[in-house]
């Protein structure tokens, strides 16, 4: 792979091609994204996109009968269920702010992974990599999904920690269902009464989470507004769920990583997008990589989702953590902030 | 012809973000076939391609404001489609497969068109012929035959990362070659020598 671009060196064509395919690691992806402000770089990207489309002869494929009708039906349904689909950042922020500030409606779902079951090897993994974990999550979503529920009376809701069995597990959210769920979420948000004044919203106090057993995945829709990396670091450096997995043996982390992905596959939508929509971007290429928190976060004014992930730099224990903030529509990495030393 | 039909993609996106729902419909009309094609080439499966194409347009429906008109809209939509395909592939634990309509590499290996690129436009055939062989093989297997990275890695006996790198380098080089050819012969027939498919790769742009 080519060198990662720097502000002094625009990305080369190879990096642009990799960006187009979604194959870059988060840092390189973010660097290319930022470099597209340069018209020459954007033009080179356009040229590569043209080449790839021509090579694949994408314009020669004939969609099946009824494709356009089904597509438009789906889009019409989405528009009806979420009439305010194109919203300003301020509008979206206002809805999320209400969600985050209103204690009675705060949404913080903890997707417990069933640590005991994991340790006992129930539903264990094949010890694979992060990529294997993703594949497994997709294949096994329906029969290994975690049960979860939310209670709107409490600021934080824990998930029933037992692992669901094949017979009683809720169906995994499919690609077809996820947008509908997101649309439903948007509708619910839009129906909320006017909330408190806008403004930066502190993260749910750690005390509310400190009793959670680890390793868990925390899904928090409370919007954090971070102007820079230092703010991101301060918001996530001391998470209890992160501390719970640091030092975990790699073999155990392998299994937990897969369970985390499976849990996210069935999680509620976050900010209109599936909670795991960009999780692969957040995972990066270290193995294993545990997702411990998914958090709504606006970075330098851009709406995003933060994945707090932990991994191993060697082959012994989990010893590295970082926050990867992703723009959920395109999985563009807005920033990646290490929480531990490399 | 209506104003919308004559409008640029970028103008349509801006109009949609400003509240013009009909502009979105026009974008769907323009790109529904292409997005399906992108997804079909990725999966080689009609249902998966349709699902991913729908996800792509749902992203456009909900996140059009994130397109900032730096690169072309078609490029942005290509990337959104690829992300939709990658996401769906992971969710279904189904690796992308070769498109059934794609030529069988084995058949081509025994024919006089060993890389199976005859269906491509001439300038692309010529540019492909000028690639380093290892880059050309990876690009043809992936883009022309629709093989996923892992299958190519197994076939070539190299790591997946190497396959990705070869493909991306191949794409980069192809773009450079085509740019150079276009610069040399902007009118298409000015006496300059076209890329020769029989010419061995030189490594030069």
Same domain, A180 and A40: no
Query: Which domains occur in chain B, in start order?
Result: 3-91 (1.10.1740.10), 105-184 (1.10.10.10)
pLDDT band at residue A266 under the 50/70/90 scheme? low
Q: Is the pLDDT of residue A25 over 50?
A: yes
Q: Is the pLDDT of residue A30 over 80?
A: yes
B82 touches chain A (CB under 8 A): yes
Chain centroid to CA A195: how far? 26
Q: What is the pLDDT of residue B80?
A: 93
User: Could you read off the pLDDT of A80-94 as tens digits, one per residue?
Assistant: 765 433 333 333 334
Same domain, A53 and A172: no
Inside any domain, residue A166 = yes
Q: Identify which of B76, B82, B175 has the shortest CB distance to residue A22.
A: B82
Inside any domain, residue A222 = yes
Which whole number is the average pLDDT over A15-23?
Answer: 92
Among B183, B184, B145, B152, residue whose Cα is nearest residue B166: B152
Q: Tell me which residue has tokens 């939508």.
A: A269
Residue A57 C-alpha, separation from nearest chain B C-alpha, in angstroms: 8
Inside any domain, residue A69 = no
Inside any domain, residue A229 = yes
Q: What is the pLDDT of residue A101?
A: 32
User: Could you read off the pLDDT of A208-241 as tens digits, one per residue?
Assistant: 332 223 356 788 878 888 888 888 888 888 888 8
B199 touches chain A (CB under 8 A): no
Same domain, A120 and A162: yes
Using a CB-CB cut-off of 8 Å, the residues of chain A touching B22 are none
Sheet holding A289-299, edge to edge: A108-112, A216-226, A289-299, A302-311, A320-327, A332-338
Using a CB-CB cut-off of 8 Å, the residues of chain B touching A54 are 120-121, 124
Report yes or no: A144 and A118 within 8 Å, Cβ to Cβ.
Answer: no
Same domain, A162 and A249: yes
The reply to whether the predicted model has a pTM over 0.80 is no
Same domain, A132 and A205: yes
Q: Is the pLDDT of residue A282 over 90?
A: no
Calculate the average pLDDT of chain A. Answer: 62
Contact at CB, A12 and B172, closer than 8 angstroms? yes
Q: Is the pLDDT of residue A172 over 80?
A: no
| Chain B residue with Cα closest to A180 | B58
Kindly state the helix (H) or strand (E) to which residue A296 belongs, with its residue range: strand A289-299
Which whole number is the average pLDDT over A319-331?
Answer: 83
Inside any domain, residue A72 = no
Inside any domain, residue A175 = yes
Q: What is the pLDDT of residue A317?
A: 81
Using a CB-CB cut-off of 8 Å, the residues of chain A touching B146 are 56
**Other residues' Cβ atoms within 10 Å of the Cβ of residue B182:** 12
Length of chain A: 342
Residue A192 C-alpha, separation from nearest chain B C-alpha, in angstroms: 20
Tell me the helices (H) and strands (E) count for chain A, helix number first: 12, 6
Between B168 and A4, residue with greater pLDDT: B168
pLDDT band at residue A108 under the 50/70/90 scheme? low
Domain range enclosing A127: 89-338
| Chain B residue with Cα closest to A49 | B75
Same domain, A228 and A267: yes
Contact at CB, B82 and A71, closer than 8 angstroms? no
- Count structural domains, chain A: 2
B151 touches chain A (CB under 8 A): no
Contact at CB, B71 and A23, closer than 8 angstroms? no
State the count of interchain CB pairs (< 8 A) between A and B: 221
A84 touches chain B (CB under 8 A): no
Q: What is the pLDDT of residue B7?
A: 92
Same domain, A18 and A148: no
Q: Tell me which residue has tokens 């740019």.
A: B179
Same domain, A53 and A152: no
Using a CB-CB cut-off of 8 Å, the residues of chain B touching A57 are 37, 41, 119-120
B139 touches chain A (CB under 8 A): yes
Q: What is the pLDDT of residue B35?
A: 96
A54 touches chain B (CB under 8 A): yes
Q: Is the pLDDT of residue A111 over 60?
A: no
B173 touches chain A (CB under 8 A): yes
From chain B residues 37-76, the ones with a CB under 8 A of any chain A CB are 37-38, 40-41, 46, 50-55, 57-59, 61-66, 70-72, 74-76
ipTM: 0.79
Chain centroid to CA A42: how far? 27
Q: Identify which of B59, B164, B172 has the shortest CB distance to residue A329.
A: B59
- Residues facing residue B134 across a β-bridge: none
Contact at CB, A63 and B32, closer than 8 angstroms? yes
Give the 3-state DSSP-derived string for B120-168, with helices as H, strands as E and coil as C: CCHHHHHHHHCCCHHHHHHHHHHHHCCCCHHHHHHHHCCCHHHHHHHHH
Report yes or no: B142 and B149 within 8 Å, Cβ to Cβ.
Answer: yes
Q: What is the pLDDT of residue A82?
A: 52
Same domain, A117 and A199: yes
Q: Identify which of A39, A75, A272 has the shortest CB distance to residue B28.
A: A75
Q: Identify which of B34, B64, B165 has the shortest CB distance to residue A58.
A: B34
Angle between helices B149-156 and B160-184 (to 10 degrees): 100
| Chain B residue with Cα closest to A182 | B62
User: Which residues make Cβ contacts (< 8 Å) with residue A71, sequence separation at least 6?
Assistant: B28, B32, B50, B53, B54, B57
Among B30, B66, B6, B64, residue whose Cα is nearest residue A79: B64
Same domain, A46 and A112: no
Q: Work out whether strand A332-338 and strand A108-112 pair parallel, antiparallel, or are unpaired.
A: unpaired
Q: Which residues of B20-53 are buried (b: 16+ CB within 10 A; e: fewer)?
A: eeebbbbbbebbbbbbbbbbbbbbbbbebbbbbb
Q: Tell me which residue has tokens 């997707």.
A: A111
**Distances in Å between the alpha carbon of A252 and those of A39, A129, A141, A290, B57?**
47, 13, 20, 11, 39
Please tell me what DSSP assigns to residue A109. E
pLDDT beneath 70: ranges in chain B = 1-2, 92-119, 185-205
Using a CB-CB cut-off of 8 Å, the residues of chain B touching A68 are 32
B118 touches chain A (CB under 8 A): no
Report yes or no: B192 and B184 within 8 Å, Cβ to Cβ.
Answer: yes
| Chain B residue with Cα closest to A47 | B175
Report yes or no: B136 and B115 within 8 Å, Cβ to Cβ.
Answer: yes
Tokens encoding A329: 């529509």
Inside any domain, residue A107 = yes
Using a CB-CB cut-off of 8 Å, the residues of chain B touching A44 are 175
Same domain, A159 and A240: yes
Lowest mean pLDDT among A96-105, A146-155, A239-248: A146-155
Among A208, A215, A316, residue whose Cα is nearest residue A257: A215
User: Could you read off the pLDDT of B129-168 as tens digits, one per residue?
Assistant: 899 999 999 999 999 888 888 889 999 999 999 999 999 9
Contact at CB, A36 and B71, closer than 8 angstroms? yes
Inside any domain, residue A54 = yes
A176 touches chain B (CB under 8 A): yes
**Mutating which of A47, A140, A181 best tests the B interface, going by the most B Cβ atoms within 10 A?**
A47
Lowest mean pLDDT among A5-9, A137-141, A281-285: A137-141
Same domain, A49 and A198: no
């Amino acid at each position: 792979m080519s060198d990662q671009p720097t502000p002094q060196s625009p990305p080369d064509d190879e990096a642009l091609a990799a960006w187009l395919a979604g194959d870059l690691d988060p840092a390189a992806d973010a660097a290319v994204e930022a470099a597209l402000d340069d018209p020459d770089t954007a033009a080179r990207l356009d040229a590569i996109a043209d080449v790839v489309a021509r090579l694949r002869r994408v314009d020669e494929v004939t969609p099946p009968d009824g494709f356009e009708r089904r597509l438009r039906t789906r889009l019409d349904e989405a528009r009806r269920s979420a009439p305010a689909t194109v919203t300003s950042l301020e509008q979206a922020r206002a809805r999320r702010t209400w969600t985050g500030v209103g204690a009675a409606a705060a949404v913080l779902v903890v997707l417990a992974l069933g640590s005991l079951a994991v340790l006992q090897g129930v539903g264990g993994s094949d010890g694979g990599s992060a990529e294997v974990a993703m594949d497994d999550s997709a294949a096994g979503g329906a029969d290994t999904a975690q049960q979860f529920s939310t209670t709107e009376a409490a600021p934080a809701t824990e998930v029933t920690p037992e692992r669901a069995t094949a017979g009683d597990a809720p169906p995994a959210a499919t690609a077809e269902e996820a947008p509908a769920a997101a649309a439903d979420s948007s509708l619910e948000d839009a129906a909320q009464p006017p909330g408190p004044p806008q403004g930066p919203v502190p993260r749910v106090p750690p005390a509310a989470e400190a009793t959670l057993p680890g390793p868990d995945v925390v899904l928090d829709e409370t919007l954090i507004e971070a102007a820079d990396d230092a703010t991101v670091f301060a918001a996530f450096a001391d998470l209890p769920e992160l501390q719970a997995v640091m030092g975990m043996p790699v073999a155990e982390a392998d299994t937990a990583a897969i369970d985390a992905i499976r849990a996210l596959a069935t999680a509620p939508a976050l900010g209109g997008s599936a909670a795991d929509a960009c999780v692969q971007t957040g995972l990066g290429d270290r193995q294993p990589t545990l997702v411990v928190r998914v958090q709504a976060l606006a970075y330098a004014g851009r709406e995003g989702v933060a994945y707090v992930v932990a991994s191993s730099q060697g082959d012994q224990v989990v010893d590295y953590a970082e926050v990867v903030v992703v723009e959920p529509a395109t999985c563009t990495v807005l920033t990646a902030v290490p929480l531990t030393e490399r | 012809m209506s104003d919308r039909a004559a409008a640029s993609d970028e103008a349509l996106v801006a109009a949609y973000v400003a509240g013009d729902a009909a502009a979105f419909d026009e974008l769907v009309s323009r790109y529904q076939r292409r997005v399906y094609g992108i997804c079909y080439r990725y999966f080689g499966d009609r249902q998966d391609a349709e699902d991913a194409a729908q996800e792509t347009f749902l992203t456009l429906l909900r996140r059009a404001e994130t397109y900032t008109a730096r690169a072309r809209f078609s490029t942005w939509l290509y990337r959104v489609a690829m992300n939709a395909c990658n996401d769906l592939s992971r969710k279904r634990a189904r690796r992308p497969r070769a498109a059934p309509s794609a030529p069988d590499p084995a058949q081509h290996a025994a024919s006089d068109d060993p890389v199976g690129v005859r269906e491509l436009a001439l300038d692309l055939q010529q540019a492909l012929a000028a690639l380093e062989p290892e880059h050309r093989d990876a690009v043809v297997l992936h883009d022309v035959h629709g093989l996923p990275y892992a299958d190519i890695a197994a076939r070539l006996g190299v790591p997946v990362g190497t396959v990705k790198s070869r493909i991306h380098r191949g794409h980069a080089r192809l773009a450079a070659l085509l740019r150079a050819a276009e610069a040399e012969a902007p009118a298409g027939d000015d006496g300059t020598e076209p890329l020769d498919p029989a010419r061995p790769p030189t490594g030069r742009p």
